[in-house]
């Protein structure tokens, strides 16, 4: 491993037991998009980055995350029983998937920050605290409680 790879690997992080991150935590969606755009442009890969191709790459990365969890029983929050190597692998695959998701949003002219805010607002309406607190049921099981159809507010 060369020095540059070592420096990069030292920047890979995950939520530590003491809930700390390294300096990369402050990357915005826009900064990630720009970093990845530069990465793609330097390699002349833009021609291959259609929404379809990026979506398929995203699905592949999610599959790689699934492989890391496959055959593990009762995975605890924080991956407490996992080795450092396994935790780094999970961090890398989640990073890959996130990068592709941000790229896909950009290629589809979607402002991911606005989309997330809008979706969270809809979810708050769809899943009102007074009906769902501590209950994982889908909203359709309680949408007509008290003759109020919460799905009409979407």
- The pLDDT assigned to 142 comes to 72
- The pLDDT assigned to 7 comes to 44
Q: What is the DSSP string of 86-129?
A: HHHHHHHHHHHHHHHHHHHHHHTT--HHHHHHHHHHHHHHHS-H
Locate CATH 1.10.287.1080 in the chain.
26-110
- The pLDDT assigned to 138 comes to 80
Q: Name the CATH superfamily for 26-110.
A: MazG-like (1.10.287.1080)
- The pLDDT assigned to 61 comes to 98
Say if residues 13 and 21 touch (Cβ distance below 8 Å): yes
In the structure encoding, which two tokens stand for residue 74, read together?
């009762």
- The pLDDT assigned to 131 comes to 82
- The pLDDT assigned to 12 comes to 45
- Cite the beta strand spans of 33-76 per DSSP E: none
pLDDT tens by residue, the chain, 154 residues: 444 444 444 444 444 445 554 545 688 999 999 999 999 999 999 999 999 999 999 999 999 999 999 999 889 999 999 999 999 999 999 999 999 999 999 999 999 999 999 999 999 988 888 888 888 888 777 766 654 554 544 4
Distance CA 145, CA 75 (A): 35
């Amino acid at each position: 491993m060369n020095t540059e790879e070592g420096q990069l690997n030292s920047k890979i992080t995950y939520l530590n037991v003491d809930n700390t991150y390294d300096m990369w935590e402050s990357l915005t969606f826009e900064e990630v998009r720009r970093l990845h755009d530069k990465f793609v442009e330097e390699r002349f890969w833009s021609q291959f980055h259609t929404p379809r191709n990026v979506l398929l790459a995203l699905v592949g990365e999610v599959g790689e995350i699934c492989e890391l969890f496959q055959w593990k029983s009762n995975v605890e929050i924080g991956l407490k029983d996992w080795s450092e190597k396994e935790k780094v692998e999970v961090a890398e695959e989640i990073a890959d998937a996130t990068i592709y998701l941000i790229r896909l949003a950009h290629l589809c002219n979607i402002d991911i920050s606005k989309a997330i805010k809008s979706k969270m607002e809809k979810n708050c309406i769809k899943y009102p605290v007074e009906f769902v607190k501590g209950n994982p049921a889908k909203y359709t099981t309680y949408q007509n409680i008290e003759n109020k159809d919460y799905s009409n507010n979407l």
